Amino acid sequence: MTQRVDRRIAQIVRDRLAEEPVVALQGPRTVGKSTLLAEAAGRHGVRVIDLDQPAMRDAVSADPATFVAGPSPVCIDEFHKAPVVLDAIKAELNRQLSAGRFVITGSTRFDALPLAAQALTGRIHIVDVLPFSQGEMAGFTEVFLETAMSEPASLVSSHRSPTTRFDYIARTCMGGLPLAVARSDEARRRWFDDYVRVSLVRDVTELAKVRQGALLPALLRRLAGQTAQVLNMASAGRAVGLPAATAEMYTKLLEDLFLVRRLEAWGRTLRARAAASPKVHVLDSGLAARLMGVTPERLGRPDPAAITEFGHLFETFVVGELLKQASWASGIASVGHWRTHDGQEVDLVIEHSDGAVTAFEVKAAARVDHRDARGLRALRDILGEAFNAGFVLNTGEVTYRLDDRIIVAPADRLWSA
């Protein structure tokens, strides 16, 4: 059984439902969208229309208008199983356009369904539901990102982190997918295998027709091997026997199913200096570790290969935790990574709505020196006053000021007081 976790995104759903006609919850399968939907339905005393059930799907497909005409909010689970329901929702909104009419969920990215996107343009607010954050699992309300954006200097303290390197390895390999978190190590690895199998067989088949679907697992593993690195589509495709154009199309499918994500290159005002290639991250670090075939025991070994593998996985883990906090924070205009043609780079850049920037570099080491912050210093020097703060998040014990507006902090500050 999964543990009871209070989701920060639940309040976002309640707030958006008071403002928007349609709220769509999208995210990977088993991430908790149905639970959030059931909670919304329970608060309003309505039932959930579950399109994952064949009988209900057939009934809704045959007569969608009847099902969308119920009391508000009409709650529809896995709407992409019967996309015709979106046309019925559009017709219903043409009759009565008001806030809180519909809550729908889908395990496929909404913009992967062109007709659906066209049908509800301007009437739908999309909420990304991501895996559990570390704070959610610990029952702690995380405010690190919000504080880093508003009062970064207040995060400097004499507190010593109790989290060991192996603790970080264990958290990274566990990830945050609810049904994986609830299992022991061996059972979790089996669950990840089944999760990938179902996603790549059933979900891809429902989303698109692919001619070389048998190569999707190999491509996904190859992308996992690139996690936290600049995406090299030609290399990934060539390694599994796919032309670059086909590999690109299949990678987009994997993104649409929330298995991987691209972190786009950032630099709206710095395009002349910044490289344009995105980084790739597996959405969940636990899934990434399984796809890479690594275990906590392997990552804990003091050999160069294990150190490199953990470095990439740890960046995916920490960036993922920051993006979870960003998903419920306000005042964020854009996120991305920054990399120049001469090799300066920052793992995550968060641009505030007012144009200020808070940036993060991730290091899977306990010791940090000035060389580890050279990307942050370069970005600070280019942005000047617009540079709010930069953080080097690592596996060390203490938080301290390394340089002007640059702070070193243990990564567990993300989810601790």
pLDDT at residue 389, rounded to an integer? 97
pLDDT, one tens digit per residue, over 9-62 is 999 999 999 999 999 999 999 999 999 999 999 999 999 999 999 999 999 999
Residue 41 corresponds to which amino acid? A
**In the Cβ-directed half-sphere of 409, how many Cα atoms lie within 13 Å?**
27
pLDDT bucket at 276, cuts 50 / 70 / 90? confident
Q: What domains appear along the chain, each with residue ranges and CATH number?
A: 9-128 (3.40.50.300), 134-414 (no CATH)
Query: How is residue 24 annotated by DSSP?
Result: E
Return d(Cα 40, Cα 33) in angstroms, integer. Answer: 11
pLDDT at residue 18, rounded to an integer? 94
Helix/strand/coil for 212: coil
**Mean pLDDT value of segment 337-341:** 91
pLDDT, one tens digit per residue, over 110-126 is 877 666 666 787 889 99
pLDDT, one tens digit per residue, over 378-413 is 999 999 999 999 999 999 999 999 999 999 999 999
pLDDT at residue 1, rounded to an integer? 41
Average pLDDT, whole number, for the chain? 91
Candidate from 104-108, 186-190, 286-290, 407-411 with smallest mean pLDDT = 104-108
pLDDT, one tens digit per residue, over 152-170 is 999 999 889 999 999 999 9
Strand order in the sheet with 22-26: 48-50, 74-77, 102-106, 22-26, 124-128
pLDDT greater than 80 at residue 269: no
- Nearest alpha carbon to residue 285 among 257, 261, 249: 261
- Nearest alpha carbon to residue 230 among 336, 368, 352, 326: 336
**Mean pLDDT value of segment 249-263:** 93
pLDDT at residue 275, rounded to an integer? 75
pLDDT greater than 80 at residue 2: no
Query: How is residue 264 annotated by DSSP?
Result: P
Sequence-separated (6 or more) residues with CB below 8 Å from residue 55 = none
Q: What residue spans of 301-411 are helical by DSSP H? A: 304-328, 374-383
Sequence-separated (6 or more) residues with CB below 8 Å from residue 150 = none
In percent, the amount of the chain with pLDDT more than 70 equals 94
**Mean pLDDT value of segment 278-288:** 97
